[in-house]
Structure 1
Amino acid sequence: MYSQSNSPTNQSVYTVSRLNREIRTILERGFASIVLTGEISNFVAPASGHWYFSLKDDKSQVRAAMWRGNNRYAKFRPKDGDQVQVQARVSLYEPRGDYQVIVEHMEAAGEGQLKQQFEALKMQLAAQGLFSSTHKKALPSTINRVGVITSSTGAAIKDILTVLKRRAPQLEVVIYPCQVQGEQAHAGIIEKLELANARNEVDVLIVGRGGGSLEDLWCFNHEQLAHAIYHSQLPVISAVGHEIDTTISDFVADIRAATPSAAAELVSPDSHALRHGIVHQKQLLHSAWRHQLNARQQQLHALKSRLAQQHPANQLMQQQQRFDELQMRLHHAMEARLSHQHRLINQLNMRLQRANPHDKVASAKYQLQQLSSRLLAAQKEQLYGAQSQLSQLAARLDSISPLAVLARGYSITKNEHGIVKSIQQVQPQQQLTTVLADGEITTQVVCVQPKG
């Protein structure tokens, strides 16, 4: 039966871009880092610096890209037909929907296998303690004879001899020639290493060769050679290849030199530096001698000075000088004291003169006279003003006095509540009092008749 839940109208509708983007996310999460081998084909290197190519085997192929930031660390530039081993992550090129691998590291296929063997042996020997610093021997403080285990015709021996001749021609060099490349080269190196230890005729051994590919240097990654170096009684310096090359012998040796020339510099003190050191030590010795001489002379001078200071005559002169100084200080102090007392007496005399009571009494009398005159004048003026104000107030009081009004023929009518100003305040049969200028009249109201 058809289910409605599977209808396209009920499902999320993808765009092509969304589909490619989500598939890319799934691929990059599921294949974040893989190791892939294959053959290079269709290799293209545009101006951008990126590499685009295909990796194929006899049945399939896959597109690949290696960005410029990663391919600049590659040790070689690949070409069509090269067998390579790459470390990559799987991705998707969204515009075309093509899946591809993004290469982060590339090396030749055979070299990749050798590196795997190298790492496995390195971990094994490290676990056995062959790389431990506690077993490494230091170089002798004095080196008179150097042993070199390398090819007698290679570039390494030439570089070593050139450096030793320039820096320390007094050093003796014993060469233990052997092959340093090939499947059985490690056996020859072990044989010469054991021979040098048996003879014990050198102070230090340099084991190495010039640069080359990983396959060329492979004999220095042999386990038997690592054990031989580890058990050597003589200090061993490993000087294999260039500075970027690393071998098992570098880890197990007592000292690792970046190049054969660097190893020669380690075992050879620079003759120019020695001469410079001798001259410098001579200068230091002379400077120390002069310093000691100056110190002794200064000490002698100080003792002479102390002796002169302790002489009785000198002590007596110092005491006399001290007595004179105290006497002068006492004289100055007495003069200063007398001068201060004279100034104090003068100040007191001046204050006494300023405080004379005769002048104060005369001044007080004069002030009293002035104040008396001012008081009398003020009293007169105040009395005159009061009289004038009293006259004015009496006139105003007389003008508004009810007695004056009564004297002109008017009267005032009162009831028990006060002055009657309206007939509304009067009731029939009410007793009223009429005030005249010369007396009062008591009346009784018969009737009250308003106007109109």
Structure 2
Amino acid sequence: MLPAIKNKNIFTVSQLNSKVRSLIEEIGTVWLVGEISNFSIPVSGHWYFTLKDSNAQVKCAMFKGNNRSVTFKPKNGKQILVKAHLSLYEPRGDYQLIIENMQPEGYGQLQQQFYELKIKLEKEGLFAQSNKKPFPKHPKCIGVVTSSTGAALFDILDILKRRDPSLSIVIYPTMVQGNGAEIQIGKMIKQANIRNECDLIILGRGGGSLEDLWCFNNEALARIIASSQIPIISAVGHETDITITDFVADMRAPTPSAAAELVSSSKDNKNEMLAHLCHKLSNTIHHYLSIKKQLLTQSTHRIEKQHPNYQIHKQNQQLDILTNRLENYIKQYLSYCEQKIKHRQYLLQLHTPSKQLEQQKVRLTRTVQRLLGSMDKKSLNIQHKLSLTLEKLEALSPLATLRRGYSITQTAQGDVVTSWQSLKTGDKLRTQLIDGEIRSTVN
């Protein structure tokens, strides 16, 4: 016996799909890498494709307003990095990704790794302000971890010499680019902590591409910086360059030169302190704005669910599907009509007057041939029967009797005389012989 089911536990398919869509869309924005397949662009201008790897695949849609910003031409087989939010196409119950941004895999993959590591370390608390070590107000010795031949080192030395010649400087030379650079940087930071001769450390290098600065986005190096007992200033690249070391260090300087100015005293010490406080405030504001930006993004996604554009996108997607289905139906119908026309043309050719006349001529020829054959056969049969009849008639004919010497005598009226008693004097007689007749009178 089935258990009782309350009405509130019974869903329609539409209600279920709507609820599942709401749950899926709460996940928010995701980044993922995959290969394009089944790429199509209907007349609406939206992009539809499947993103797959060796084990799985997911359907994707990128609407016209977003795909205009893509700087390369997507095609099947191309590896890409996408930023998307999850959704469900309710009419079919299909789980799909709504793509917001798309990049080729190479550069985008580094960005994806950067964001994943940033999120991971941030969740662990490595970026927390409470973990930042305070800087000495009047440092006496500055450690510099950088390349011994790089322009960054000479900029730092020039500024420190100009601003505070009394400062001691210890250089920890290391690679700042390429394979193994992160290992050397980590060793120098550990060595500075073991020697414990510096009040603070400047970790710096000049600007470069994301690939050039990639050693500063290493997880192991980030953990070494976080565990350092000596405060560290991250001064990597230009002001617009952001690395993981900037977040995990106790302070970030926009450039190596700016780091040198921050750690050295001058007549404008108050201004420097103010700059330091401003920078600290900037970091706090940046962190606050980052949190608010995430909340804004989540709120925006919730609003987008109810926004007319979202409904329009859904309707456009459904329109594309129905248009494709209609096109297929029209093609099938036209193909059916074409086959039907060909069949009718074939039947028409079979029933044209000329074809019918040809067939009738063939039938007539065959019928005439059969008729002539039947007539010949019938004529032969009749001739044979006639011959037999003539033979029989010949055998029974009086002429045959006459040939044997007999004759036939008839009266003038044509009666055969079989007895003399039937005659009287004066009767005219005619005697038939084989080769003529004799006329006589009874006396």
Q: TM-score range by the shorter chain?
A: 0.3 to 0.5
Larger Rg: 1
